[in-house]
Amino acid sequence: MTGRHMAMPEWLERDDLPARPWVVEEGEARRGEAFTNLVTHRMRVPLGSDETSRCIRAHELMHAKVSPVEVVVPESYSYIDRDTVVVAEEFRVNMLTGVAGFPVMTHLADGSERRTGERMAESFDWNGLVHMVGATSGTKSFNDLLAGVRKVRPEWVRPMRKLNLAIKRHWRGATDNDTNLDFVASTTMVDGVPEGWHFTLEVARILHRALRSTAELDENDVPDLSSIEDPATLVESRWGRLIELPLDRTRRVDGRIGRRKRASITGRNPRHLDRLLTDPDRRIFERRDRGNGGVVLVDQSGSMRLTDDDLWKIIEAAPGCVIIGYSHAPGTDDKPNIWVIAERGHVAERVPAGNLGNGVDGPALRFALKRRRSGEPLVWVCDGAVTDELDRFDDRLVDECATLVAVNGIHQVPDVTHAVAALARAGRGEPLRAAAIGAISSSDAWRSRLP
């Protein structure tokens, strides 16, 4: 029932504003419906228990936690229009919401984004799409938006991906440790605005460089976005060199998890004679099954995380599996970027931290394939945004990964929750077929291999 509610959650305390009650109105889970007004302390959010509603509530709460009371554009940024700054703030809030643990990559979308992408492409609204990239980057909405754009103007998809990776690269550089992350979320006042607002202004600067005037746009041309990258880095894209980090896997999976006792109709010693009366199949013998196997490859870049809890959720779903993490530090050639966290019941004490970038997706897939036993599933946890050694998007590298996925029956999923569900299905004997998401699923190589 629609109504108003008073709330004062303590975690909304800020350095720049006193804590005050909020008036919370019930709304629907669709784009443009939810809002947060820091002047009147009013908020409208969906109150459903579904994941999309939870993500929208978290997004609006993050606005209440970190966004400034008013959109301030300092003189040094005065050439950037207000709308560009507003969507840059949406990007900051989306990324912080993801860091807080909400599944924005799989649930923050209302189903309208694909049609929005089609409509904007049909009306030749390049600048509107630039703003939509800023507003949806880091969420499920972005991939849906690009799917709509591809249907009408497929030549626009690559520059839009390039823009998306440019602002995500800026996020990774600005949040490379906990101290920097605190700065991005800070509400301490600096030069008249919350400290974290300066990150938003820099994102707005990148988005502004992608905008084009009407005179610059031609329906037969694809806008050139090379200006959003440092010309010194515009070299041929390639994977980083794969360097393994050796781990001591000293923990052992509990035998009760790793091995299971099952009743059987065949065997040597009848241990369950009572089943002669209770079991129609008369399974009086006992056999021990090994824990489920498989290989799980996890992208641990800045946009993806793997916690100790995530690790054990995977192990409980498939006790005998191999779990491999990877992440490359952009621009380096001597830092380890792949590690085997668990191998057939032997588990490392901790999960190594990622290195911000992807950088070695293709080599990591080949590394994982070498450790897969015959008939085992290979689950790849990755949002599909594969990048080169400098953390740049490249169609050729995406096609290479898409081919590996299709040819080798790799099952790609966006997060650990989906990986656990897939392993559970495999444990019940269901085959895990080749599956792709994100940039992999929309690549030419993937689409050419579809039946």
- Domain ranges for the chain, please list them: 4-233, 251-258+292-448
3-class DSSP state of 251: strand
Q: What is the pLDDT of residues 192-215, one digit of tens each?
A: 788 899 999 999 999 998 998 766
DSSP codes, 339-403: EEEEETTEE-SSPPP--SB---HHHHHHHHHHTPPTT--EEEE--S----TTS---HHHHHHHHH
Signed CA dihedral, 24, 30, 33, 34: sign only: positive
The pLDDT of residue 111: 87
Average pLDDT of every residue of the chain: 85
Given this model, what pLDDT does residue 230 score?
45
Rounded-to-integer distance, Cα 49 and Cα 351, Å: 31
Q: Are 296 and 418 in contact (CB under 8 A)?
A: no
- Residues 245-265, mean pLDDT to the nearest whole number: 70
Say which DSSP state 431 is in. -
| Residue 91 clears pLDDT 80, i.e. is over it | yes
Q: 348-390: per-residue pLDDT in tens?
A: 988 998 887 889 999 999 999 999 988 899 999 998 788 888 8
Report whether pLDDT(233) > 80: no
Q: pLDDT-derived band of residue 267, with 50, 70 and 90 as boundaries? A: low
pLDDT higher than threshold 60 for residue 438: yes
Specify the higher pLDDT residue, 91 or 279. 91
CATH level 3 topology of 251-258+292-448: Rossmann fold (3.40.50)
Q: What is the pLDDT of residues 311-362, one digit of tens each?
A: 999 998 888 899 999 999 887 888 999 999 999 889 998 899 888 788 999 9
Higher-confidence residue of 450 and 397: namely 397
pLDDT the model gives residue 223: 75
Q: What is the mean pLDDT of residues 135-147?
A: 92
Residue 256 DSSP SS3: helix
Q: Which of 10-24, 113-127, 320-334, 348-362 has the highest mean pLDDT?
A: 113-127
Picking from 65, 79, 78, the residue whose alpha carbon sits closest to that of residue 196 is 65
> Quick one: average pLDDT of 414-429?
90
**How remote is the C-alpha of 15 from its chain's centroid?**
30
Q: What percent of the chain has pLDDT over 90?
A: 46
Compute the distance between CA of residue 382 and CA of residue 105 in angstroms, rounded to an integer: 11
